[in-house]
Amino acid sequence: MSDAGFDAPTYYRMALAPEDRERLPYYAQLVDALANSPTAVQLLGEARPEQRNPMLVLAALHYGALRGDRDLAPLYERLASRTPEEFASRVTAILEARPELVREQLWRATQTNEPGRSAVLAAVLNELHGRGVNDVHLIDVGTSMGLNLYPDYYRINNDEADDVILTMEDLNDNVATSPLPRIHERIGIDLNPLDPENPDDVLWLKACLWPEEPQRARRLDAILQEMVLWPRATRLKGSAVDLIDDALDLCSPDATPVIFHSWVAAYFSSDEQARWRERIMRHVRTRATWIYFEHPWGVKGLDPPPRTGEPPRAGATQIVVCEIGEDPAHWGWAHPHGRWVALSPPGVDSA
């Protein structure tokens, strides 16, 4: 996250998309209370500049609760027994009294690995398949635990989420149901790839989820159980810019490398974003396709393509696709966690 214009109270207040503030009254109250807490403001400032994201503080508090902290655990376990205001003021009071609960976790990173984004990725891959892309290698940059390396293993529907079924509302009613391209290599790159077999990594990933969405925690458990049966992925540890060429070297020429990232480039500095774009465009000119889902204000260094119209809902993620030999193009909008998509690829009329 760029450090320029860092304003912790505003970061806290803007941490949730407006539609999520409505859905999640406990976290909405909590981020507002943290915005007014000098301790919470100071702690966010103590994080590494690229990690000055309120989600890191929220995850650190949730992590304490999941580890059974005497003060936090009862609040998070029995959320509904208090009003959102009571929950927020008690959690904030605990943080004020015991800032080490968060300070000790500031070495970590926001690593929310949201499989719901695989529903959006599948929609884009479906569309590419319709354009003749039959075989791909998937390189997931900022892969966290690698949950978005398997868009072909999730079932996706339009209403009820359950286990590994992802729920995504199709606002433009134009998501293709044709099969996905066949995925050959699955390669994840991350500064700190999380290991599904390491209990602390799994706990941190759970802490990055929101306590008002128990179905996401259930889904994570179900995915972790199924994932052991899915094809093994290669995980590369290090920075995206340093490792992307190594990842591409693992890709045989019989399939198109798809370089994908969601909610990652905002953690690069502006310089890194510009270098990343330049590096990827070199590969796009010859052999690769580039897909990203990022919030446009956080990735100005990527020079996102002009958007057609306003997003259908505030706080949306822009979908950008750059096909081989083309320029990056605006392909629509999605909810940050993939709860809905409004796909509008160039040349396709939306309903």
Ligand X SMILES: C[S@@+](CC[C@H](N)C(=O)[O-])C[C@H]1O[C@@H](n2cnc3c(N)ncnc32)[C@H](O)[C@@H]1O
Interface residues toward ligand X, by CB under 6 A: 109-114, 117, 142, 144, 148, 189-192, 239-240, 262-264, 267-268
How near is the Cβ of 137 to ligand X at its closest, in Å?
17
Our CB check for ligand X shows the closer of 173 and 221 to be 221
How near is the Cβ of 240 to ligand X at its closest, in Å?
4
How near is the Cβ of 271 to ligand X at its closest, in Å?
12
Our CB check for ligand X shows the closer of 29 and 144 to be 144
How near is the Cβ of 156 to ligand X at its closest, in Å?
16
Cβ-proximal residues to 312 (8 Å cutoff; 6+ apart), any chain = 171, 333, 340, 342
Our CB check for ligand X shows the closer of 40 and 243 to be 243
Q: How many CA atoms are closer than 13 Å to the CA of 330, on its beta-carbon side?
A: 16
Our CB check for ligand X shows the closer of 113 and 344 to be 113
| Number of C-beta neighbours around residue 344 at 10 A | 20
Angstrom distances, CA of residue 250 to CA of 152, 255, 342 = 20, 11, 33
Our CB check for ligand X shows the closer of 83 and 192 to be 192
Nearest to 221 by CA among 205, 235, 210: 205
Our CB check for ligand X shows the closer of 172 and 239 to be 239
Put residue 238 in one of left, alpha, beta given phi > 0 → left and psi -120 to 50 → alpha.
left
- Evaluate whether 295 touches 331 at the Cβ level (below 8 Å): no
Nearest to 144 by CA among 109, 96, 175: 109
Residue with tokens 């995504």: 168
Our CB check for ligand X shows the closer of 112 and 126 to be 112
* Token couple for 129: 């398949």
Q: What span, in angstroms and rounded, lies between the C-alpha atoms of 17 and 337?
A: 11
Q: What span, in angstroms and rounded, lies between the C-alpha atoms of 222 and 183?
A: 22
How near is the Cβ of 166 to ligand X at its closest, in Å?
12
Our CB check for ligand X shows the closer of 105 and 112 to be 112
How near is the Cβ of 123 to ligand X at its closest, in Å?
15
Q: What span, in angstroms and rounded, lies between the C-alpha atoms of 34 and 286?
A: 48
How near is the Cβ of 192 to ligand X at its closest, in Å?
5
Dihedrals phi, psi of 13, to nearest 5 degrees: -65, -30
Q: What span, in angstroms and rounded, lies between the C-alpha atoms of 292 and 297?
A: 14
How near is the Cβ of 14 to ligand X at its closest, in Å?
16
Residue with smallest beta-carbon separation from ligand X: 142
